[in-house]
């Protein structure tokens, strides 16, 4: 199992090296040249096909796992992920695949995993909903498609800064690996370790310098794997509460739900219209952007990378207690609720220029300089 993970790490890392060394051959298709978009925070063209690294590491790692352990679950997951991965890569290369086709591809991938791997949301640890799910397989399929598609899309939404979504994915798969080990599920433990290794190989090139971006292919692949491994963990082990994977993805999922609410009801505009008001962008504006006031490229890069550790900590807040309380539905529900309240509180503080003092990084010039506040408007 460790050998499979190391192979995935080596393949992911070396694929990144090959992509960067051959940029002159594919730059026309693979580069993200848009540096002025509302959600763009890089200064120069960067390859956005990091999903190829992740898929390469995942594919070779799962093949090695099948050889050593004889399990075909991992290979089945890779096969089912192809629709969502292909739609994301198509967008990365053509810039012409909209959010709706990618979301529909995620639904198709979820349906494939439901029928081929029995990866279905058969219980939610909510009495009335569990009764509905026990009535017929069709509601199970619909819930599964909604859950997998929603999580995959949410990971794409938080993919805004160097290392952000991949670091969050690494945290979530570490939690899955720990709980898989606790319940004795060797197959899911191996898959989680392989995903951690593939993400680590990608992070080497992505964080902090952003030499390559995950793109939609990488973000949707990671989101799909997070969703389906979580569903399988609950499906295969009665002691694992259905709220455990939901708490693990609390940050990206609540970010998505809050963004829908904010755009539709507070701003009265289309929920699909992009903006720069996500929590990670507010952290960048209120806490990070004025940490280095220069507009030079290297300082902009530093500010970009400095945003991700904040959001890693935000993601870890619900995940850390969840791994020790994975069998307690009521406690996990309370953790999710507390996280949602904390998220709203933090967002409200940042929007109103009342950032918590313990989160502020002052300039290292002098205390007098720090008291004068930011040199750039926020």
Confirm if 230 and 176 have CB atoms less than 8 A apart.
Answer: yes
Partnered with residue 32 across adjacent β-strands are 46
Which of 258, 250, 202, 261 has the alpha carbon at shortest distance from 226? 250
Is 216 annotated in some ligand binding site? yes
Kindly calculate the radius of gyration of the chain based on its CA atoms and give it in whole angstroms. Answer: 21
The CA distance from 100 to 132, in Å, is 28
| Residues in Cβ contact with 67 at an 8 Å cutoff, skipping those fewer than 6 apart | none
Determine whether the annotation assigns residue 327 to a binding site: no
CA angle, 206 as apex, 202 and 210 as ends, to 5°? 160
Angstrom distance (rounded) from CA 311 to CA 161: 10
Integer Cα distance of 109 and 104 in angstroms: 9
Closest CA relative to residue 326, chosen from 223, 247, 227, 228: 247
Instruction: Give the Cα separation of 291 and 293 in Å (integer).
Output: 6
Distance, in Å, from the CA atom of 198 to the CA atom of 96, rounded to the nearest integer, reads: 27
- The encoded tokens of residue 92 equal 């990365």
Rounded Cα distance, 352 and 139, in Å: 42
CA distance 357 to 355: 6
Q: How far apart are CA 361 and CA 292, in angstroms?
A: 10
Q: CA 174, 179, 184 angle in degrees (round to 5)? A: 125
Residue 110 phi/psi, 5° resolution?
A: -65, -40
What is d(CA 217, CA 223) in angstroms, rounded to the nearest whole number?
10
Residue with structure tokens 């990084």?
Answer: 361
The binding site comprises 156, 216
The binding site for Mg(2+) comprises 156, 216
């Amino acid at each position: 199992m460790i050998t499979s993970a190391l192979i995935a790490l080596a393949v992911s890392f070396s694929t990144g090296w090959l992509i960067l060394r051959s940029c002159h051959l594919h730059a026309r298709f693979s580069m993200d040249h848009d540096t002025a978009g509302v959600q763009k925070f890089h200064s120069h063209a960067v390859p956005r096909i990091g999903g190829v690294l992740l898929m390469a590491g995942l594919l070779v790692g799962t093949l090695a796992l099948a050889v050593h352990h004889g399990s075909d679950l991992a290979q089945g997951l890779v096969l089912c992920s192809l629709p969502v991965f292909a739609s994301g890569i198509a967008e990365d290369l053509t810039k012409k695949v909209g959010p709706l086709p990618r979301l529909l591809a995620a639904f198709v991938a979820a349906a494939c995993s439901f029928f081929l791997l029995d990866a279905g949301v058969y219980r939610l640890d909510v009495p009335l909903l569990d009764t509905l799910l026990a009535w017929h397989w069709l509601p199970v399929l619909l819930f599964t498609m909604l859950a997998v598609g929603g999580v995959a899309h949410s990971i794409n939404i938080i993919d805004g800064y160097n290392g952000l979504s991949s670091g969050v994915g690494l945290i979530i798969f570490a939690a899955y690996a720990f709980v898989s080990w606790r319940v004795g599920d060797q197959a899911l433990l191996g898959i989680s370790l392989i995903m951690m290794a593939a993400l680590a190989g990608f992070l080497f090139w992505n964080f902090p310098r952003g030499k390559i971006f995950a793109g939609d292919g990488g973000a949707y692949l990671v989101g799909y794997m997070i969703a389906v491994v979580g569903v399988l963990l609950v499906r295969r082990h009665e002691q694992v509460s259905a709220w455990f994977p939901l708490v693990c993805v609390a940050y990206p999922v609540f970010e998505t739900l809050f963004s829908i609410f904010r755009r539709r009801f507070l701003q009265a505009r289309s929920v699909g219209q992009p903006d720069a008001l996500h929590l990670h962008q507010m952290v960048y504006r209120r806490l990070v952007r004025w940490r280095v006031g220069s507009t030079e490229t290297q300082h902009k890069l530093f500010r970009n990378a400095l945003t991700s550790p904040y959001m890693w900590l935000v993601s870890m807040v619900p995940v850390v207690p969840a791994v020790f309380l994975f069998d307690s539905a009521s406690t996990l529900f309370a953790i999710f609720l507390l996280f949602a309240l904390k998220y709203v509180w933090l967002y409200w503080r940042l929007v109103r220029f009342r950032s918590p003092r313990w989160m502020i990084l002052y300039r290292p010039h002098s205390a007098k300089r720090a008291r004068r506040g930011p040199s750039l408007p926020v």
